[in-house]
Amino acid sequence: MTEALYLDNPYLELVEATVTAVGTDGGLYVDRSIFYPQGGGQPGDCGSIEWGTGLRTNIKNTVYSPDRSSIILIPRGDQDLPQLGQTIIQHIDWARRHALMRMHTAMHLLSVVLPYPVTGGQVGIEEGRLDFDLPEGETVERVSANDAINALIRADHAVTTEWISDDELVANPTLVKTMKVKPPTGAGRVRLVRIGADIDLQPCGGTHVKSTGEIGEVHIAKIENKGRINRRVRLRFGPSAESA
Ligand SMILES: [Zn+2]
């Protein structure tokens, strides 16, 4: 079992932990992790670990164990690895993680501005995308959507988390916007991410910034047709080329 420290505090940049197992491929199972394991459209964290007498090993990715009970740090090849029971210090690649937190939070706001069923998504350090099923005949108005999302960012709404039981989620199915990325249930409780008082509320296990102002300006870079009613909307940081 790994304690997922990033859930309660996504701002931790380093923490001490213990190696609880070493996989045949060198994957390091840890008792606690500030590294986010890839999933839910968010990439796994990178960084390094420090151990022994000043040794440092680079971590290229983070994943869940197949049963999702443990988090595994994946080292880059050809490096010394700590043994079972070794105390390590995790150092996250914070610049990369913070960009992912900003873009991930922006994806929640995109789903507010475009209130349609989400069929997929991916968060990156420069770009994030969501796929929407639009009602027949509707189009995405890029300029008004850009204005709306940047207004939500500038208003600097608080981003907070709360927990509900699996049963409460089943009783409130409208909380789930992402049809193809079902929130993990079975653990007995599900984490909800709330923006403002009631701007957005949805189950999410990813990492987010603490208030929307931290995202900074964004713009819709591209809208692609992925089917008769499906639209892929790509969001990037910074002002749009047209308005710059
Ligand atoms: Zn989220």
Q: Which residues partner with 195 through β-bridges?
A: 159, 200
Distance (angstroms) between ligand 1 centre and the Cα of 224 equals: 23
Cβ proximity of 120 and 227 under 8 Å? no
Q: What is the pLDDT of residue 57?
A: 97
Mean pLDDT of the chain: 93
Q: What is the pLDDT of residues 124-162, one digit of tens each?
A: 999 999 999 999 889 999 999 999 999 999 999 999 999
Residue 238 CB neighbours (<10 A): 12
Distance (angstroms) between ligand 1 centre and the Cα of 220 equals: 19
Distance (angstroms) between ligand 1 centre and the Cα of 123 equals: 10
Q: What is the pLDDT of residue 145?
A: 96
Q: What is the pLDDT of residues 203-244, one digit of tens each?
A: 899 999 999 999 999 999 999 999 999 999 999 999 987 654
Distance (angstroms) between ligand 1 centre and the Cα of 104 equals: 6
Distance (angstroms) between ligand 1 centre and the Cα of 108 equals: 6
Q: Please tell me the least confidently modeled range out of 68-72, 88-92, 182-186.
A: 182-186
Tokens of 130: 């969501």
Q: Residue 225, exposed/middle/buried by CB under 10 A (0-12, 13-18, 19+)?
A: exposed
Distance (angstroms) between ligand 1 centre and the Cα of 11 equals: 15
Q: What is the pLDDT of residue 244?
A: 47
Tokens of 58: 């680079």
The Cα–Cα gap between 10 and 102 comes to 12
The residues, ordered by sequence, that sit 6+ positions from 10 with a Cβ below 8 Å of its Cβ are 36, 97, 101, 207, 208, 209
Q: What is the pLDDT of residue 184?
A: 59
Distance (angstroms) between ligand 1 centre and the Cα of 222 equals: 21
Q: What is the pLDDT of residues 172-210, one digit of tens each?
A: 877 776 655 555 566 688 889 999 999 999 889 999 999
Tokens of 6: 């990033």
- For residues 225, 124, 209, 146, the Cα torsion angle rounded to the nearest 10 degrees is -30
Residue 136 CB neighbours (<10 A): 7
What domains sit in the chain, N to C, each tagged with a CATH number?
3-92 (2.40.30.130), 97-237 (3.30.980.10)
Distance (angstroms) between ligand 1 centre and the Cα of 107 equals: 8
Q: Which long-range contacts (CB under 8 A, 24 or more apart) does 141-149 make?
A: 142/220, 142/223, 145/113, 145/114, 145/220, 146/219, 146/220, 146/240, 148/113, 149/106, 149/109, 149/110, 149/112, 149/113, 149/218, 149/220, 149/235
pTM as predicted: 0.93
Distance (angstroms) between ligand 1 centre and the Cα of 53 equals: 38
